[in-house]
Amino acid sequence: MNQARKLLAAILANPKAVRFDDACRAAEKLGFKHKGGQGSHRAYARPGEPELLNFQNRAGTIPPYQARQLIGMIERYGNDTLSD
């Protein structure tokens, strides 16, 4: 199992404690590009995907609703994007 798959598996296993840095890396692994943000916020977009991913750094983790959005994207794009 490569590092990207391990990262995504860890997010799926513990969605209540997703680290901000891990969420940002996971979004990039799924094909999302950093589109901006100020302060503790980061926004990511993927070509052809109407939904954006927005992450807010709250003491090193992201809020649970943002983790659920990320998990939805992992379920949608995880298998297509990553290879062993």
Q: pLDDT class for 80, splitting at 50, 70, 90? A: low
CATH architecture of the domain with residue range 3-81: 2-Layer Sandwich (3.30)
pLDDT tens column, 44-66? 999 999 999 999 999 999 999 99
The pLDDT of residue 1: 55
Q: Spell out the residues 6+ positions from residue 2 whose beta carbon is closer than 8 angstroms to its own.
A: 82, 83, 84
Q: Which residue has the higher pLDDT, 81 or 66?
A: 66
pLDDT tens column, 13-34? 998 999 999 999 999 999 999 9
Residues β-bridged to residue 29: none
Domain borders along the chain are 3-81
